[in-house]
């Protein structure tokens, strides 16, 4: 059975409520006020419901009318989203795109991309933090469309990548940590004496990876990068941080570079599956190659 409530009728009710009168709604919809009145009266007759109370000097929504308006707005929003998604898909732009990034890369590095993409497409963006092997697993399993992460020695055969930048890593500990009282070379044998702060690999199926963590070294594993910074600042251990993150904390006196250590560079790459490409992904690849600048 066809419902007498049409999207046009719902748009009229919405406009009347927002504008405060039939006349103002008619002006917004570029319709004659009498046309709106006729359509609403017909709807009331078809539903056998009074939508507007006309007993006063101004028509106001009845309780039933308010219910139709509220539920109708849900339908209007859903319809608008449906039309928008269909339009995006028809034009070759993905409805959604997920960009995964290793947790050592601050999320604000991707805000400019999200803003710029919004100017050319309605594609919805998800920024997804992953750690170590979890980053590659997300790409391989299809949980991510693009990946920004430190470069591996060997990449999967079905993955294409480009280097988009470099990052300098530095060994640090809290300014009062006892590691700063040591003397001599800070080699692996020396490092084993101090608890290292590590971030848990987010891989679900693949073997977990570890970086700068020795087998017999005491370890504190935290769930994300922010927690690692907090643990280091609290003096719970030693670890590496990007120079861009460490320098402000060193300047504030919270952290200190461990003596006899140097910064180590790592390449940051953008990776994606070769056989899965769409307009939004292609646009993001070009944007990151052209505009990437680590913050």
pLDDT in tens, 158-180: 899 999 999 999 999 999 999 99
**DSSP assignment of 148-190, as one string?**
EEEPPSS--TTEEEEEEEEEEEEEEEETT-GGGG--S---HHH
The residue with tokens 């308010």 is 66
Angle separating helix axes 63-90 and 7-19, nearest 10 degrees:
120
pTM to 2 decimals? 0.68
CA-to-CA distance for 166 and 146, rounded, in angstroms? Answer: 18
Contact status, residue 146 vs residue 270, Cβ threshold 8 Å: yes
* Residue 205: predicted pLDDT: 74
d(CA 35, CA 11): 14
pLDDT digits (tens, 9 = 90+) for 99-130: 999 999 999 999 999 999 999 988 889 999 99
What string of DSSP letters covers 109-135?
GGHHHHHHHHTT---EEEEEEE-THHH
Tokens of 85: 């998604």
Q: How far apart are CA 125 and CA 295, in angstroms?
A: 20
Residues 64-78: tens digit of each pLDDT:
999 999 999 899 888
Q: Determine the pLDDT at residue 2.
A: 59
pLDDT digits (tens, 9 = 90+) for 185-234: 898 898 999 999 999 888 877 777 777 778 789 999 998 899 999 999 99
Measured between alpha carbons, how far is 75 from 7 in angstroms, rounded to an integer?
Answer: 8
């Amino acid at each position: 059975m066809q419902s007498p409530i049409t999207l046009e009728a719902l748009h009229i009710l919405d406009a009347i409520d927002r504008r405060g009168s039939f006349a103002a709604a008619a002006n917004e919809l570029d319709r004659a006020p009498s046309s709106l009145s006729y359509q609403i009266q017909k709807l009331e007759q078809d539903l056998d419901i009074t939508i507007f109370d006309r007993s006063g000097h101004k028509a106001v929504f009845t309780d039933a009318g308010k219910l139709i308006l509220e539920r109708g707005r849900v339908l209007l929003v859903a319809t608008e989203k449906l039309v928008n998604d269909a339009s995006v898909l028809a034009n070759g732009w993905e409805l959604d795109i997920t960009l995964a990034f290793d947790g050592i890369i601050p999320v604000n590095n991707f805000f400019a991309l999200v803003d710029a993409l919004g100017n050319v497409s309605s594609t919805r963006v998800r920024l997804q933090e992953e750690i170590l092997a979890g980053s590659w697993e997300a790409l391989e399993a299809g949980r991510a469309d693009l990946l920004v992460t430190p470069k591996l020695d060997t990449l999967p055969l079905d993955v294409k990548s480009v280097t988009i930048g470099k990052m300098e890593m530095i060994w640090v500990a809290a300014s009062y940590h006892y590691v700063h009282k040591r003397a001599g070379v800070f080699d692996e044998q020396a490092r084993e004496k101090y608890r290292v702060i590590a971030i848990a690999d987010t891989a679900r199926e693949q073997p977990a990876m570890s970086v700068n963590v020795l087998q017999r070294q005491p370890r504190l594993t935290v769930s994300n990068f922010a927690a690692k910074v907090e643990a280091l600042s609290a003096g719970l251990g030693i670890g590496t941080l990007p120079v861009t993150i460490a320098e402000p904390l060193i300047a504030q006196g919270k952290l200190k570079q461990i003596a006899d250590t140097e910064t180590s560079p790592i390449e940051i790459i953008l990776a994606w599956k070769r056989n899965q490409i769409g307009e939004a992904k292609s646009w993001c690849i070009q944007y990151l190659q052209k505009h990437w600048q680590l913050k």
